Amino acid sequence: MAQTSKLEVIRIAEQGARLSQPFTMIDLAQIDDLMLSIYLCQGTLQTHRHVDQDELFLVHSGAISLESEWGDVVLRPHELAVVPKGVGHRSASLLPSLVLLLQPRVVVDRRNGDRRLFALKAEKRLEKINLSAMGHQVVVPFSPVLVAHLDTFAIQLTLCEGVGPWQQRAARPV
């Protein structure tokens, strides 16, 4: 008898409610070489840098200040910013805020040297992206729009409406 598997539903607010101490984190899901985590931002974290990974910060609830060598941004729900590897940064919030963190979780050798080793000095600014505003710009179903890059990954936004092109198959000859 075949065993059936179910997709796991992760309720972000429920997982976030389990966090009671500032800057504690729960890993929610692994997607290939990326880990999606949630952390409670309250207070101010010390400035630090990651020499081998980019980090994507997406605010779920509350608001945070993301301070970096490239400038500061304030992120509210549905807003995100990517801090490239090598850029000193810290997050801060006066009130408890839940933040989704997406970051590569791979052994450095698995990339075989095919990766950017540090942030480029010419870039020199953090970009804040509002997913709600960007969602209103996505009007063609199943045509992904680039949101951000995270290491060698592309984060895209797609409008799923109607029948997707991968579901439209030509009739097979009998």
Amino acid letter, residue 77: P
165: helix, coil or strand? helix
**pLDDT-derived band at 96, boundaries 50, 70, 90:** very high
| 39-47 mean pLDDT | 95
138-174 per-position pLDDT tens digit: 888 888 888 888 877 888 888 888 877 765 556 666 6
* Domains, the chain: 12-167 (2.60.120.10)
**Cα 45 → chain centroid:** 19
| 90-119 mean pLDDT | 73
In sequence order, the 6+-apart residues with CB closer than 8 A to the CB of 127 are 81, 82, 148
What values do phi and psi take at 145, rounded to 5? -115, 130
0.85 surpassed by pTM: no
Task: Look up residue 47 and give its two tokens.
Answer: 């400035």
How much is the pLDDT for 106? 63
Dihedral sign (CA 153, 159, 161, 164): negative
